Amino acid sequence: MRISRIIGEGVQSLGANKLRTFFMMAGTIVGIAALTVIMAMGKGTEKSVMKKVNNFGVRAVMINAGGGKGMSPPQEGITTLRLEDAEAIRNQVSGIDVISPGIQKRGMSIKAGNTQTQATAFAVEPDFHDAWDWYVKSGEPISAEDMATMGRVCVLGATVHRQLFGEANPIGESIQIGNTRFLVKGVLESKGTSPMGTDFDNRVLIPLTTGLRRVFNQDYVSFIRIKVQDSKQLVEIGEQIRKILHERHHIKPPQEDDFAIVTAADIAKAARGISGTLSILLIALAALSLIVGGIVLMNILLISVSERVKEIGLRRALGASQSDIFLQFLAESLAITLLGMLLGCALGWGASMLVGMFIKAPVVISWEPFALAVVFSVMVGLFFGIQPARRAAKLKPVEALR
């Protein structure tokens, strides 16, 4: 009962000087609001990363032509990656579910009547659909018969379909890819954004044999797509593939690879690394704001102690103990930071919604920032409130009343 009365008196004293109380809360409000926005954006980024990983395929391995580290895309004009490499990997590596080589050409001119656009053309095998877990929404996929006859047929990505035909059904229509005419036989399901941030759906598929002989006139491929049976084997299988390609391409250290191996784990690690570094920096800034707010709180409370000397002396003369005075000022400090926490959370929640609405950044509101806000607020209130509370408690009643 005594504790609740002391806390009540402390909170009541704050209401007597609202402007001063607000200034003491300002640092906490800003720090907690920043923390809320940072964690909401961090959660949103993580969700976006996982969506991109799922788009890429959680059991996928991509071997791209051309050297480089990380998520290097296929480099056009590199002739070292061949169908024989895919066959060697298929025969020598266990744990592979599907393997599908292909050719990629960016910026190809695609025409339908008087409408023209640019897209990435992919020459692929029928296994492409299983390797990517990416199937047709309407019509038919690339088939073994298309491969055997070097058919001039194609499957459109959702973006190409929309740009060339709008909402109309393109099945059976004729389009021109580069200088070659093709018959549209299918439309892919929409896939969204790639891990590199590009439009996955801005593509058109043609049979690999058609691409090799009739369109691109080449005997090498741009990439080899692999889907493994167990995602836990991604690293092990990646190393086996690297060893096989080193032997086939006669690569010996310190020579650089003429290929790049990318897995879903690599994409997630790279994206989370960037997001994690940024989050740590921003959380550090939010923590700095809370510390500055705590220092301001402590100094204003010290000034308040000096101004309320007579009040403290009177309370001591009427029977209040040192611990009562100490608890009252500590209660004031905690009340300020906790109220600032509530206002900061509300401000941060509103700011997170605005960020999501106006700059289209991924935002996820969760309980974690609110839990951290309570912890930080209590820590700041206790740590920076102890010194003013101790100074108030040490005042002697006789000296305070003079």
Q: pLDDT (tens digit, 9 = 90+) per residue, 183-208?
A: 999 999 998 776 666 788 999 999 99
Q: Give me the pLDDT at residue 145, please.
A: 94
Token representation of residue 241: 């593939």
Specify the pLDDT at position 243.
Answer: 93
Contact criterion met (CB below 8 Å) for 139 and 155? yes
DSSP state of 123: E
State how far the Cα of 336 lies from the Cα of 297, in Å rounded to an integer.
9
Give the closest residue to 195 by CA, choosing from 88, 272, 100, 284.
272
- Read off the pTM: 0.64
d(CA 268, CA 400): 64
Q: What is the pLDDT of residue 6?
A: 47
Q: pLDDT class for 233, splitting at 50, 70, 90?
A: confident
**Mean pLDDT score, 150-177:** 94
Give the domain ranges of the chain.
2-51+269-401, 79-257
Q: Under a CB-based contact definition with an 8 Å cutoff, are residues 238 and 95 in contact?
A: no
Per-residue confidence (pLDDT) for residue 13, from 0 to 100: 55
CB of 26 closer than 8 Å to CB of 296: yes
Q: What is the pLDDT of residue 276?
A: 61
Q: What is the mean pLDDT of residues 392-397?
A: 72
Most confident residue range from 37-46, 133-142, 253-262, 296-305: 133-142
User: Helix, strand, or coil here: 53?
Assistant: helix
Instruction: Give φ, ψ of 101 to 5 degrees.
Output: -80, 160
In sequence order, what DSSP letters do the residues of 183-225 get, joined into one string?
EEEEEEPP--B-TTSSBTTSEEEEEHHHIIIIIS--S--SEEE
Residue 163 has pLDDT above 90, yes or no: yes
Residues 6 or more apart from 369 whose CB is under 8 A from it? 35, 36, 38, 39, 40, 345, 348
Strands (E) located in 10-95: 60-65
Q: Supply 243's token pair.
A: 């060893």
DSSP result, 313-357 = HHHHHTT--HHHHHHHHHHHHHHHHHHHHHHHHHHHHHHHHHHHH
Report whether pLDDT(1) > 50.
no
Q: Where are the alpha helices (DSSP H) in 80-214?
A: 83-92, 128-132, 144-149, 158-165, 208-210
77-122: pLDDT as tens digits: 788 899 999 999 999 998 899 999 999 999 899 999 889 999 999 9
Average pLDDT over residues 20-41: 76
CA 239, 240, 241, 245 torsion: positive or negative? positive
**pLDDT above 60 for 7:** no
Residue 348 clears pLDDT 70, i.e. is over it:
yes
* pLDDT tens digits along 268-305: 666 565 556 666 766 777 777 778 778 877 887 777 77
Specify the pairing of strand 96-112 against strand 115-124.
Answer: antiparallel
- Give 321's pLDDT tier (boundaries 50, 70, 90): confident
Identify the pLDDT of residue 4. 54
Residues 270 and 71: beta-carbon distance below 8 Å: yes
Asked if 240 and 61 touch (Cβ cutoff 8 Å), the reply is no
Of 211-220, 256-265, 296-305, 359-368, the range with the highest mean pLDDT is: 211-220
Structure tokens at 39: 């964690």
Residue 138: pLDDT above 80?
Answer: yes
**How many Cβ atoms from other residues are within 10 Å of residue 300's Cβ?**
17
What is the mean predicted confidence (pLDDT) over 143-164?
A: 94
